[in-house]
Amino acid sequence: MCLAETHEAVRDQLDGPAHQGRPVGRRAVIAGGLGATVGALAGPAAVATPQGGRRMRDLTWTFSPSFPVFVDGEEATRSTHVTIEENGYYLQRWSFYEHTATHMDAPGHFTPGGRLSPDIGLDDLFVPAVVVDISDKVASDHDAEVTVDDLIGFERRHGRIPRRSAVLMYSGWETRAGSTALYRGTDASGVYHFPGFDVEAIEWLVDRRDITGIGVDTLSLDHGPSTTFEVHVNLLGADCWGLENIRNHDTIPPRGTELFVGLIPWEQGSGGPCRVIARW
């Protein structure tokens, strides 16, 4: 997630009273052509595969120039550099921004001095995961957010959210990924509309459940209309990470899953594209 006015909005958040003194601690598928495009983006890795008595599920989108981005002009590009026929081997050349397709927001994406991609340790890349399903309320409110009430309701049904876990929002929004306009949910005035977490839920998860991070099946951890990016500021400021543009997590158990986040240690990276795999 990256917007032209993000810097100013975040600076206001960091300077505001809610953030002062806080340490940076450890703390329905779209029919027709759209459905076909989503299928092409998904790729064959979407199929769960038994292995050693356990199952795995790929939560990652195929990295593609056609995948929706937060701002026009940030689309990835690729070209064929050499071919087997002419050069004896095949190689592509890519250009992309760090926050493209399925990717991690590292703490340093919004927090001065926060951990960057190479600083994310192995114990933060293999974590328990839970899936909080808010798809019912998203069906009638595209700006819906994961709230503390949703988290308490989840625990009543499935048990306590484990310490050090990743909390994944399932909203059903992944079905829109074949269209940038639908995935952004842009209205006539240019405002985005898609679900995310609310800041009180983040504070509850950080303070009471000591989570490692969160994940969303949308373009941003904050819901679409946000202009202050409070979820980013508070989550990353607590030294947790966020995953954006994940998928397939409606097909994994609500709890009892181990998540592997294959983040490349991009030098000085503010996060970056990664492979996200669930196993249970």
DSSP notation for 63-119? P-TTS--SSTT---EEEEEE-HHHHSS-EEEEE--SS-SSEEE-GGGTSTT---GGG
How far is residue 158's CA from residue 249's CA, in Å, rounded to a whole number? 16
According to the model, what pLDDT value does residue 233 have? 98
According to the model, what pLDDT value does residue 15 have? 53
Rounded to whole angstroms, the maximal C-alpha distance in the chain is 62
**Is 177 domain-assigned?**
yes
**Is 226 domain-assigned?**
yes
**Is 1 domain-assigned?**
no
How far is residue 25's CA from residue 2's CA, in Å, rounded to a whole number? 24
The closest of 264, 276, 248, 278 to 106, measured between CA atoms, is 264
- Which stretches in the chain have pLDDT values below 70? 1-52
CA dihedral sign of residues 28, 230, 103, 77: positive
According to the model, what pLDDT value does residue 11 have? 53
According to the model, what pLDDT value does residue 22 have? 41
195 bridge partner residues:
none
According to the model, what pLDDT value does residue 8 have? 53
pTM of the model: 0.85
Question: How many other β-carbons are positioned within 10 Å of the β-carbon of residue 99?
Answer: 23
**Is 199 domain-assigned?**
yes
Number of domains in the chain: 1
According to the model, what pLDDT value does residue 28 have? 38
What residue numbers bound the domain in which 213 lies?
6-279
CATH number, domain containing residue 81:
3.50.30.50
51 bridge partner residues:
54
According to the model, what pLDDT value does residue 198 have? 98
**Is 193 domain-assigned?**
yes
According to the model, what pLDDT value does residue 53 have? 79
Write the single-letter amino acid at 69: V
Question: How many other β-carbons are positioned within 10 Å of the β-carbon of residue 235?
Answer: 29
The closest of 185, 239, 243 to 216, measured between CA atoms, is 243
3-state helix vs strand vs coil in the chain, percent to 5? 30, 25, 50
Strands 145-146 and 77-82: unpaired
